Amino acid sequence: MTTPAPNHQPTIIPQAPNLDANGYVLMDANTGMIIAHKNMHQKMQPASLTKLMTLYLTFEALKNGQIHLTDKVRVSKTAWATGGSRMFLNEGSLVTVQKLIDGIIVASGNDACTALAQYVGGNQATFVEMMNATAQQLGMKGTHYVDPTGLPKPGHHTTPYDMALLTHAIINNFPQYYPFFKQGWINYNGIKQPNRNRLLWRDPSVDGLKTGHTEEAGYCLIASALRHGMRLISVVMGTPTDASRANDSEALLNWGFRYYQTHKLFDAATALAHPNVWFGQSKTLPIGLASTLYVTIPAGSYSNLKPEVNIPNKLQAPIQKGQMVGTLNIRNGNEIVTSAPLIALKGDQKGGIFSRAWDHIAVHF
């Protein structure tokens, strides 16, 4: 971590925009830090934001080689008859997984969503079980799914925070599929439909993700934008109009980019220190981080950051590669802004009998 030149960005942070929404979250996509929020743990109807979990499970199946983008899916009568927004699939037709993904992202097609859920899960009920199991794995404690589309049903709910967690996972776990969310149009069955995410048309830094609307949920939008290497995720739920969900999301993103910055501090698997090791084959041990460390902080405060390495005074072999041996804290003054475990970058087995005997003598003096 190097000390930068003086930063003349403002250091006084105004309150986040006052949004006419039931709830919202602004999260940094690298660090997962919540920058701003309102009612972020309150349970709400997600409407078509639900489809992000359907897409998450689809991406996971693609990544694992269980399905392929070129696979052709036969459209069932159930999928064809699903109400609400549609891709306009024909019953019995064969449609590729890629085209169904496009139909979900751009047209918010409930028919495409049902067809894909049946294909990935075997049937819709099993797929919903997969949705809820994955939600628990991701830490989405306020979420319960009843269907893969988001059509209103009792017991179907989520929270703005959970939607941010899911979006964070999509962006970081499936970078190869994330560009699908930037598509502006879909043309299928002679019908051309635009992406309902208005920010894609007005802000070139925005490249996803999903809109949602029902009478119960109001107008919802999850958006993400990348500016100068910093990516933010905005979740806005329960606004009164289509225009307000776009305007509120834009205001939230602009505020976050204006008053906060994300910095990469240390790369993964890079030696940050070489502490002494007792009773081992080596006298020192390279230690570092398992993953790259980022920090999100108020603009203008980067030069105040100080790293603090905490490791035991006497590390003793044997030590396995990847074993946690300490903690790295990043301080801004007296405040710890982030922490990460320090791991051994290579192993160190017990030394020979004479080496250990000498260390036993030295360690007591």
CA angle, residues 155, 158, 121, in degrees to nearest 5: 75
* CA proximity to 291, closest of 225, 226, 339, 224: 339
Burial (CB count within 10 angstroms: exposed 0-12, middle 13-18, buried 19+), residue 285:
buried
Residue length of the chain? 365
Q: Is 98 helix (H, G, I), strand (E, B) or coil?
A: helix
Token duo for residue 125: 């009920």
8 Å CB contact between 147 and 156:
yes
Catalytic site includes residue 108: yes
- d(Cα 4, Cα 299) in Å, to the nearest integer? 13
Which residues lie closer than 8 Å to 2 by C-beta, 6 or more apart?
none
Nearest to 113 by CA among 180, 173, 49, 66: 49
Contact 187, 195 (CB under 8 A): no
* DSSP structural state of residue 280: B
48 belongs to the catalytic site = yes
Report residue 189: phi and psi, to 5°.
Answer: 55, 35
- Yes or no: say if 319 and 308 are a contact pair by the CB < 8 Å rule: no
CA-CA distance, 216 to 229, in Å (whole number)? Answer: 37
Element (H, E) at 214: strand 206-214
Rounded to whole angstroms, the Cα distance separating 53 from 285 reads: 42
In degrees and rounded to multiples of 5, residue 261 shows phi and psi of -135, 145
Give 315's Cβ-side CA count (13 Å radius). 29
Given the DSSP bridges, would you call strands 191-194 and 185-188 parallel, antiparallel or unpaired? antiparallel
For residue 350, indicate whether it is catalytic: no
Please pick, among 38, 76, 85, 108, the residue that the annotation labels catalytic. 108
Measuring CA to CA, which residue among 98, 31, 41 is closest to residue 235?
A: 41
Please list the active-site residues: 48, 51, 108
